Structure 1
Amino acid sequence: MAIITNKRSVMTLYSGAVDILSHRVRIVLAEKGVSYEVINIESRGKTEDLLELNPYGNVPTLVDRELALYEPNIIAEYLDERFPHPPLMPVYPVARAKARLIIYRFDREWGPLIRKLETGKINDSRAAAKELTSYLLQLVPAFNASPYFLGEEFTLVDCCIAPVLWRLPAWGITLPPAETKVVNKYADRLFQRDSFQASLTEAEQELRKSAKAETA
């Protein structure tokens, strides 16, 4: 739900430096080439300002003039409509509905597993890693079928998947060699986009570097 707040002159994103949902929104903002201010909540704690904007006090929260939004998929679609070029959703209603359903399934099926992986509890993390690996293996044919998940164009679906793939080494998730080759080819295509590189925080860059160093 959006709320009315004091008008701000610059679009503002309340974000977590390694928060995976914040990362999703940062990719969308970078794809659109939007200038915005970032307020890192993890380093400052929940502020009264954020709680006034978002009753849940969580990130990401986007403020655009009088509007405050605090659900990542609503934020992403709002940005896609507010800044129509380049488009990040299919044009036709059926394809748009399918894209929304894919994102919904990712959030519903992957979300709880990711939260367990990020808690760092060994037993929970091992089970979650195994289950997430199973989901990723199911998607290998889709990763191999076209440059991006829905076809030739980069979409909001790819914005959802990219932060997950970026964090796999940090979660200790590895795939069988044949599947790794396919997933890495798709992942590298996402990671090499200017928007993805621009979306990364220093903490997210370090997250992957540290994980690779440990496995080297």
Structure 2
Amino acid sequence: MELHGYFRSSASYRVRIGLNLKGLQYDYTPVNLLQGEQRGDTYRKLNPQGLVPALVDGRTVLTQSLAILEWLDEQYPEPPLLPGDPLKRAKVRALAYSVACDIQPVQNLRVLQYLQSEYAISDKQKIHWIQHWIHEGFTALEKQLDPAPFAGGDRPGLFECCLIPQIYSAQRFGMDISEYPAIHRIMNACSDIAAFVDARPENQPDSTL
């Protein structure tokens, strides 16, 4: 398998965690978002949306991080990313989607670039925008998280694949995660797990490019 991504992309980060949790080997091909490589003809042939990540497995090309993670869970069921119980599975999906579909998209690079180019927002306004939407989302998540170590029980899964990259983004823009005790607890629980450590942006080959 080959993963095309960017070291700071939340969606790429999610898939790196998922691949690591599954113990799967993959080659990593950087796509420099700041230099616009995702909009080039070569990458567009792989992913017409011009977004990362893209996972290539033989002749199959998969896009959209949550679709990739669920495909991985179906193809390589152990260890699972989702609980076996249908209701618990739905609840974990809801938590994961709240990050991947509600919080993260409004702080996506292309959204921020559009705000800056079309509305001339300042860097200070950009940071306020990011912090506002993360705070809104994290405040809601706090009310939904159970006291178990992880959202799905005793092992990290789909939700943690989404949450940890969002925490990274929050911290990058100056937010104090200790203000969100349940999220902070999950962050600490994941901090020493190799699958999460190896997936960190600073541990990717393109972080120094």
Q: TM-score range by the shorter chain?
A: 0.7 to 0.9
Q: How big is the alpha-carbon RMSD for the aligned residues of Structure 1 and Structure 2?
A: 2.8
Aligned twin of 1:187: 187
- What residue number does 2:25 align with? 35
State how far apart, in whole Å, the 1-side matches of 2:180 and 2:141 are: 12
Structure 1 residue 144 displacement after superposition: 6.3
The partner residue of 1:166 within 151, 165, 168 is 168
1:106 paired residue number: 99
Task: Choose from 5, 23, 27 the match for 1:15.
Answer: 5
CA–CA distance in 2 between the matches of 1:167 and 1:191?
Answer: 15
Q: CA deviation at 1:79?
A: 0.9
Higher relative contact order (CA 8 A, sep 6+): 2
Q: Which one is further off, 138-147 or 53-62? A: 138-147
Which residue among 42, 61, 78 is the counterpart of 2:54?
61
Change (3 A) 1:31 1:118: farther
| Superposed displacement of residue 130, structure 1 | 2.6
Contact persistence 1:142–1:149 (CA under 8 A): no
- In structure 1, the residue matched to 2:44 is 51
Separation of aligned partners in 2, 1:83 and 1:102: 22
TM-score scaled to structure 2, two decimals? 0.80
Q: Distance in 1 between matches of 2:169 and 2:97?
A: 20
Once the two structures are TM-superposed, the CA of residue 202 in structure 1 deviates from its matched residue by: 2.7
In structure 2, C-alpha distance between the alignment counterparts of 1:13 and 1:31, rounded to whole Å: 15
1:92-131 map, 5 Å: 92-115=85-108, 121-131=123-133
> TM-score scaled to structure 1, two decimals?
0.77
1:143 Cα deviation (Å)? Answer: 5.0
Q: Which moved more, 1:23-32 or 1:149-158?
A: 149-158
- Kept in 1: contact 2:96–2:163 (CA 8 A): no
Residue segments in structure 2 that go unaligned for 5+ positions in a row: 114-121
Identity of aligned residues (%): 25
Q: 1:204 to 1:38 in 2, by over 3 A?
A: closer
Name the CA distance, whole Å, in 1 between partners of 2:160 and 2:148: 12
Residues 17-69 of structure 1 show CA distances to partners (whole Å, capped at 9, x for unaligned) of 11111000000011111111110011772354432221112210000012101
Distance 2:95 2:140 in 1: 13
When residues 105 and 184 of structure 1 are mapped into structure 2, their CA distance, relative to the original with a 3 A threshold, is closer
The 3-state SS of whatever aligns with 2:151 is coil
Number of aligned positions between the proteins: 195
Distance across 2 between alignment mates of 1:56 and 1:139: 29
Inter-partner Cα distance in structure 2 for 1:151 and 1:82: 22
8 Å CA contact 1:18–1:203 kept in 2: the answer is: no
CA, structure 1 residues 105+151, in 2 after alignment: closer, same or farther (shift >3 Å)? same
Q: Distance in 2 between matches of 1:62 and 1:159?
A: 16
Q: Which runs of 5+ in 1 are unaligned?
A: 1-10, 208-216
